[in-house]
Amino acid sequence: MLQMKQLSIYEQIIHLKEQLPAEADSVSVSLVEHIQPVSAVCFFQKAADYAGSRFFWQSAEGDLTLAGAGAFATLEAASGAGRFQDAQSKIASYKQNMRWTEEAEHRGTGPLFFGGFSFFPGENQTPWEEVPEALFILPEILLTQANGQYFITYHVNIDQQTDPEKVVERLECQKENLLHGEKQEAPWFGPLELHDRLSYTDWKTFIEQAVQDITDGPLNKVVLARQLKAIFTQPVAVERLLEELYARRSNDYVFLLEYGETVFAGATPERLVQVEGSRVRSACIAGSIGRGATTLEDEAKAEALLNDEKNREEHQYVVDMIQDALAPLCEKVKLPESPEIMRLKTIQHLYTPVHGKALAEAHIFDYIERLHPTPAMGGVPQKEALTYIEENEPLERGWYAAPIGWVDGSGGGDFAAAIRSMLIQERTAVLFAGCGIVADSTPLEEYEETNLKFQPMLQVLGGRMK
Ligand SMILES: C=C(O[C@@H]1C=C(C(=O)O)C=C[C@H]1O)C(=O)O
């Protein structure tokens, strides 16, 4: 393939300045440069000057890592059912006033917005009240690792008077600090004290009632969650938290979003939707069992899961819904006939990968709107399940189990469902874990399953279940 010569940042500014209409006040530009390999975790840690507006993301396959520093633009979407379309149009109209060159068309670079939505439309309640219902951030500086290549994207405003040399000088200086500057050692903030929202007795009553309601009414499946609070002796140091989160990742998405004093972080196996060119990918993940102590035991458990009627039923609801949700937005949707096993560190799931060919006019937010929440996060029928969760679940979901991810200048993007996650404020981390309840669920099994789902974040925090 013919390799085009890359324009330097200086050349990109000159080029973009030449295209400015004479009367333009100023425009925002994405400037992208190819760099030597660096650690995205270190980049985040060195960006201490941007504390409160950083983010980190790594895809489940590890082929794309993003670390953002500073908020060049912050977009919030309107409340309610139209929030996905509103976020899409706000991002689109912001991008209309932006300029970039071909350098910004590599995957995961350029005018990329990172953010997400809360699970339910409507204003967030305690402990989420600081977090907007839908938030997307265009970073001031973005580090991208995509398929083994590394890039930095800078966002700046330019006008006819802009002196390219001065801009380059300033960006070089920022880059120097972020790539080669000192990194402060972040202290550990433990030990922690754990507070369970529900005693086992209360959980048992809650699940028994749900099973009864499923048996008696129109509900077939509902995903219900528990909340665990960890309280530390010191405020949580985000730099250290990210290090622990990253070190313990398995094949899941790693995400962390700082919003002022609030941090939302997790490591989720669950892809909601990825769009890359005309390729659409989603995943059905539902049905769970623990890991075995030996390979033999592990395989026996996997086999039991694959043959378990209750888990297969829970899984099939997700498969049917995702297939229906994608059909109007894809030329073709392909998925295997039966699920395979997804093995994570502490748990294994039934997993059906889904592939589609995108319709040209569909935007990633159109997919999200049709997919969220899948029956892996909400239930079946969707409307009844959501009402059930809102009325009965004794916690505020906020961004838990909701779409989180990024969308770039070419309409590509990747969103995950934010499970195996936690909300961190000062000395407190609130962890979330849910499980699909169907007519033959039992409280104890579901309790143990949620315990397994707390493990990844608890381990990051240096704790474990009793
Ligand atoms: C809701 C969660 O997990 C979901 C529920 C699962 C299940 O019920 O088997 C499995 C994976 C996820 O789709 C969670 O981890 O909080």
- Both 218 and 162 in one domain: the answer is no
Confidence of residue 1 (pLDDT cuts 50, 70, 90): very low
Residue 1 belongs to a domain: no
pLDDT at position 79 over 90:
no
C-alpha of residue 90 to centroid of ligand 1, in Å: 32
Q: Choose the residue to mutate in 270, 389, 397, 419 for probing ligand 1, maximizing ligand atoms within 8 Å of C-beta.
A: 419
- Both 32 and 144 in one domain: the answer is yes
Residue 266 belongs to a domain: yes
The strand pair at 98-100 and 27-35 is best described as parallel
Cα atoms in the Cβ-side hemisphere of radius 13 Å centred on 180:
6
Total domains, the chain = 2
C-alpha of residue 293 to centroid of ligand 1, in Å: 22
Q: How high is the pLDDT of residue 464?
A: 66
**Where is 408: in which H helix or E strand?**
none
Q: Is the CB of 419 under 6 A from ligand 1?
A: yes
pLDDT in tens, 373-387: 999 999 999 999 999
Residue 102 belongs to a domain: yes
Residue 349 belongs to a domain: yes
- Both 307 and 335 in one domain: the answer is yes
- Both 30 and 145 in one domain: the answer is yes
- Both 262 and 153 in one domain: the answer is no
The CA-based diameter of the chain, rounded to the nearest angstrom, is: 72
Q: How far apart are CA 441 and CA 448, in angstroms?
A: 12
C-alpha of residue 304 to centroid of ligand 1, in Å: 18
- Both 292 and 328 in one domain: the answer is yes
- Both 169 and 196 in one domain: the answer is no
**Where is 23: in which H helix or E strand?**
none
Torsion of CA 267, 183, 142, 397, to 10 degrees: 30
Q: Is the CB of 270 under 6 A from ligand 1?
A: yes
Residue 380 belongs to a domain: yes
| Residue closest by Cα to atom 11 of ligand 1 | 286
Residue 311 alpha carbon, nearest atom of ligand 1: 9
Torsion of CA 445, 447, 450, 455, to 10 degrees: -100
**Where is 106: in which H helix or E strand?**
none
Q: Out of 145, 180, 215, pick the residue that ends a domain.
A: 180
Q: How far apart are CA 274 and CA 414, in angstroms?
A: 4
Residue 67 belongs to a domain: yes
Confidence of residue 466 (pLDDT cuts 50, 70, 90): low
- Both 404 and 260 in one domain: the answer is yes
Residues forming a β-bridge with 332: 357
Instruction: Give the catalytic positions in this structure.
Output: 221, 270
- Both 295 and 174 in one domain: the answer is no
- Both 137 and 239 in one domain: the answer is no
Closest Cα to residue 115, out of 433, 419, 415, 430?
Answer: 415
| Residue closest by Cα to atom 9 of ligand 1 | 287
Residue 20 belongs to a domain: no
Inter-residue contact 303 to 312 (CB < 8 Å): no
Domain that holds residue 256: 192-460
The CATH number of the domain where 252 resides is what?
3.60.120.10
| Residue closest by Cα to atom 6 of ligand 1 | 286
- Both 433 and 326 in one domain: the answer is yes
Q: Out of 180, 205, 236, pick the residue that ends a domain.
A: 180
In sequence order, the 6+-apart residues with CB closer than 8 A to the CB of 139 are: 55, 68, 69, 70, 71, 72, 112, 114, 153, 155
Q: Is the CB of 433 under 6 A from ligand 1?
A: yes
- Both 202 and 167 in one domain: the answer is no
Residue 265 belongs to a domain: yes
Helix then strand count (H, E) for the chain reads 11, 21
Q: Is the CB of 420 under 6 A from ligand 1?
A: yes
pLDDT in tens, 330-385: 999 999 999 999 999 999 999 999 999 999 889 999 999 999 999 999 999 999 99
pTM (whole model) above 0.90 = yes
Q: How high is the pLDDT of residue 465?
A: 63
Q: Out of 157, 180, 203, pick the residue that ends a domain.
A: 180
Inter-residue contact 438 to 309 (CB < 8 Å): no
pLDDT in tens, 261-273: 999 999 999 999 9
- The CA–CA distances, whole Å, from 319 to 261, 286, 334, 376, 408 equal 38, 9, 11, 9, 28
C-alpha of residue 419 to centroid of ligand 1, in Å: 8
C-alpha of residue 426 to centroid of ligand 1, in Å: 28
Q: How far apart are CA 411 and CA 222, in angstroms?
A: 33
